[in-house]
Structure 1
């Protein structure tokens, strides 16, 4: 009987393809800083032996000696890079990552010696060692023994491991900085969501005293057969429709906030509160997104602190201006501090400017 052919296992084939794909991806991901670090270190180590040329008479062989001692280290760093990159691009949280880096560096050092020895024997250019040997009447430095191979491998391994350690430290530091930035970004988003929920809850609240007074005033108007009673009721219904947002509403716009201010002041007028006349000039900025309950608290605060006769709202680019024809409204208090806290979370700023006979609140929105 003919023995059955052993078929390769699909899992082994997939693992081999995955390993080859990882090698190719890691080699293609080489960053210029990494290549610069290896090449610079290789040239520095190659230039160590060149200092002895000052004591030797090289003559016309100087270009060949320089080329030999600069090309060989660059080739060495190329071999080390090919071995180091797959380990460096492996999982950053693998428990054996450090041992992988050490093993890859040791393998790269051994392969470097395996490539350099035949290359050094094949190059016709002399080395510093050859120049020194010829100067003292000794044979060329081409006697490679096992002890020299091991020593040269360790000579390559130790500085290469230092370079790998520096690059790994840089990678870990960059990863930690990125994780810290992600946490800060996530924390900022959570604060924004929490603030948006708080503002939505504030927007959904209606002053019960104001609502009760409005209902009583409407009832009295109907009892007196006041022809304006129906209009008062319509204004109350309109204010409630504006002030009570639906739960699915995630925010507001500059136009809806202006409409809320207008309905609020109109309701105060029905209660003989003598609210200020409201002027609104938004132009094409009415659809600008705006967190709720940022403008109405400023209006309510102004009415508590003074008796403005006119109130205006205007949009200038990303800046919203809410003004009153009364000065002395810029004093810091709990309401203004709370509003500034909300704006700080949203990345916006609030500036209050006062002039004779007027006060303006300038709200700078984030892009």
Structure 2
């Protein structure tokens, strides 16, 4: 219990202290409007010191009582009761501290000056009714202040919970897309590899001199493609190698893939999520007949084809854009004058 109280006091935040101080000054300034009707003379600093200093002391006592309740479990069923109880206890302790302190201060109050002016009894006389009234006078604005702070704390927790939920949703969505991508790869690669194996076998069967080279290209593609089934990330240079090996396999299968030119420079080591570029190449071969393909990197990654009309939206491109949104990247497609360019901008 004592440890919790001590940790609560040490966790005081600047805005909380500032809130209580400002509330104390505003609370103390309420009675200062009565100075207009009183001639205080040279005692004005003493009056101001009394009426602004005592509320600051009161709010300090309230703050020390409020902090342990405010730092209790935010989901505890008795949290509101604890806050109300701590506020009422703080109000009572405030009166217990302020009454003796006010009696020992040599500075006059507005009430003292008013009583002196009109010949009334001193305001320092102890009365039970005044004690109860002052306690309620402190408790009511204190409860309002605690309510505002609790509402602010609740709102902050709700905002944080919403951000955590969105972050978790984004992570789950990313993982789902990566899992779906791996599934698509597992479904696509076996068919291509089976055809390539059959072609290599037939080449060896007819004693084709190029059979050995075709087998080496198949092995190279396997070394590049198989890790993609279990890895979520790669580099731009590795993705370019995958595209080149894919086009080589198509060429071995009597296809007519485009010639592939790659200019990466120092950008080859750029981290890149797996399977962002190869689906664009496969889609271009399915929709058109490009004869050349370029991959360049100069701050942005550009994959270009010497064929128009490859920017039309379809399910494959929509799925790729959806994945890019999750990754925080953007893809822009332009097509004109016999050329189509896909520009990929990765998050910095």
Query: TM-score, length-normalised on structure 1?
Result: 0.89
Per the alignment, residue 168 of structure 1 pairs with 150
Number of equivalenced pairs: 348
Q: Write out aligned runs for 1:256-275 (5 A).
A: 256-275=238-257
Contact residue 236 and residue 269 of structure 2 kept, 8 A: yes
Per the alignment, residue 124 of structure 2 pairs with 142
Per the alignment, residue 323 of structure 1 pairs with 304
Distance in 2 between the 1:167 and 1:132 partners?
36
Q: CA deviation at 1:57?
A: 2.2
Residues 45-85 of structure 1, C-alpha deviation per residue, up to 9 Å, x if partnerless?
A: 21111111112222222222111111111111111111111
Higher mean C-alpha deviation, range 201-210 or range 112-121: 201-210
Question: In structure 2, do the counterparts of structure 1 residues 58 and 191 end up closer, same or farther at CA, with 3 Å as the change threshold?
Answer: same
Per the alignment, residue 333 of structure 1 pairs with 314
SS in 2 for 1:245: helix
Question: In structure 2, do the counterparts of structure 1 residues 208 and 73 end up closer, same or farther at CA, with 3 Å as the change threshold?
Answer: closer
Distance in 2 between the 1:167 and 1:360 partners?
55
Contact residue 320 and residue 363 of structure 1 kept, 8 A: yes
Question: In structure 2, do the counterparts of structure 1 residues 208 and 109 end up closer, same or farther at CA, with 3 Å as the change threshold?
Answer: closer
Per the alignment, residue 17 of structure 2 pairs with 35
Question: In structure 2, do the counterparts of structure 1 residues 45 and 210 end up closer, same or farther at CA, with 3 Å as the change threshold?
Answer: closer
Per the alignment, residue 182 of structure 1 pairs with 164
Contact residue 205 and residue 244 of structure 1 kept, 8 A: no
Per the alignment, residue 10 of structure 1 pairs with none
| Aligned with residue 242 of structure 1, among 201, 220, 224 | 224
Q: Which runs of 5+ in 2 are unaligned?
A: none
Query: TM-score, length-normalised on structure 2?
Result: 0.94
What's the RMSD between the two structures over aligned residues? 1.9
Distance in 2 between the 1:164 and 1:289 partners?
50
Q: CA deviation at 1:247?
A: 5.6
Residues 135-191 of structure 1, C-alpha deviation per residue, up to 9 Å, x if partnerless?
A: 111232110112211211111011101100110111011111111111111111111
| Aligned with residue 133 of structure 1, among 115, 123, 129 | 115
Distance in 2 between the 1:221 and 1:206 partners?
23
Higher mean C-alpha deviation, range 77-86 or range 243-252: 243-252
SS in 2 for 1:205: helix
Distance in 2 between the 1:208 and 1:80 partners?
72
Higher mean C-alpha deviation, range 33-42 or range 258-267: 33-42
